[in-house]
Amino acid sequence: MPSPSQPFDVERLAHDIRAGERTVLSRAITLIESKRADHRRTAAALTQALLPDTGKAVRVGITGAPGVGKSTMIDALGSMLTRQGRKVAVLAVDPSSRRTGGSILADKTRMANLANDDNAFIRPSPSSGTLGGVAARTRETMLLCEAAGYDVVLVETVGVGQSEIAVSDMTDFFLVLALPGAGDELQALKKGVVELADMIAVNKADGDNLQRAKLAAAEYGAALHILSPQSPNWSPPVVTCSALKGDGMAALWAHILDHRQRLTASGELAAHRGQQQVKWMWTMLEERLFAPLRTDRTLKAALPRIEADVAAGHLAPATAVEKIAELLGG
């Protein structure tokens, strides 16, 4: 990273990213992840400069319970796409990585084919921060990858809770991976995640699991049938596949392209992306406004006392908010 006396040349960075320079792309993503005020300003200028070069990629979000085979699926699907001449970027949203050390780095070794593919780019999520901050920086990273010529962006959610919603809010198509034996898993799979799904793929549909996978697919299909579809132009399908064997990848991708074609024709995709951009703006603004709560020493020292007074009933929440706002300079 340049020192403060050697600022980034935004024009040069943008030129090199458009030329597909991987080293410069990695450097620019590191810039976006920086918390320094001058780096934030430069990152904003860079994304603004590259904005006309973005938006052409197919953006796919992928989620699923641990052990469902997300890494194997991404490796198989991504490798199929690079063989077809596409360039694939794999990003992660992992708000828990500060505690766990982040699983995507291990996933990089499990994505053996993509990790060694010149037409693929794998990037972990930032190593710390709130979900909103991590998601916002992943979105910015997605734009840089698109400007660098990556025409498929696969965004994996490796966290828990709201990370599925965050990934759904930055992608065009949300793929939920499931395991054979839907009985218990259907109960465990969060209703909210099923409602977000544009498709459910039952993975590991091979060998002795094949019949169980077909049964699971039928049960998931029945569950989806009860829910109102998110789009009048798309009914989420349920498919079976084996990422380990590479079976079903072509059919899976065909559904993604069909979804894109339908929503593009109806104008829904453009409207959806516009709404995402506005949500993104508010998420980044909230992150910026809340940053002093985590970084200002005076404020950090005062917050536990204010919280304790509110919990004990000595201080009304509204009064506490006024106190915090005063400390923030508002």
Same domain, 132 and 174: yes
Domain count, the chain: 3
Is residue 272 in some structural domain?
no
Same domain, 147 and 179: yes
Neighbours of 156 (CB within 10 A): 28
Same domain, 84 and 227: yes
> How many residues belong to the chain?
330
pLDDT at 101: 42
Same domain, 46 and 75: no
Same domain, 48 and 84: no
Neighbours of 51 (CB within 10 A): 12
Same domain, 86 and 127: yes
Q: How far apart are CA 76 and CA 81, in angstroms?
A: 9
Is residue 126 in some structural domain?
yes
pLDDT at 194: 78
Q: How far apart are CA 146 and CA 213, in angstroms?
A: 35
Tell me the pLDDT of the chain (330 aa) as tens digits.
454 444 679 999 999 999 999 999 999 999 998 888 889 899 999 999 999 999 999 999 999 887 888 999 999 999 999 999 999 999 988 766 544 444 444 455 578 899 999 999 999 877 666 677 778 889 999 999 999 999 999 999 875 567 888 899 999 999 999 888 755 555 555 666 778 899 999 998 888 888 888 888 888 888 787 777 788 899 999 999 999 999 999 999 999 999 999 999 999 999 999 999 998 888 888 878 887 787 788 888 899 999 999 999 999 999 999 998 888 875
Last-in-domain residue among 217, 234, 266: 266
Is residue 118 in some structural domain?
yes
Burial class (CB in 10 A: 0-12, 13-18, 19+), 248: buried
Neighbours of 56 (CB within 10 A): 10
Same domain, 152 and 20: no
CATH of the domain at 49: 1.20.5.170
Same domain, 244 and 293: no
pLDDT at 97: 53
Is residue 257 in some structural domain?
yes
Cα dihedral 120→275→263→29 (10° resolution): -10
Residues with Cβ within 8 Å of residue 54, at least 6 apart in sequence: 143, 146, 147
Q: How far apart are CA 267 and CA 107, in angstroms?
A: 36
CATH of the domain at 91: 3.40.50.300
Same domain, 123 and 143: yes
Residues with Cβ within 8 Å of residue 243, at least 6 apart in sequence: 69, 72, 73, 75, 76, 77, 203, 204, 249
Same domain, 295 and 232: no
Q: Are the beta carbons of 153 and 58 closer than 8 angstroms? A: yes
Task: Render the burial of 82-114: b for 16+ CB within 10 Å, e for the rest.
Answer: beeebbbbbbbbbbbbeeeebbbeebbebbeeb
Same domain, 83 and 209: yes
What is the residue range of 295's domain? 281-328
Same domain, 18 and 120: no
Q: pTM, whole model, 2 decimals?
A: 0.87
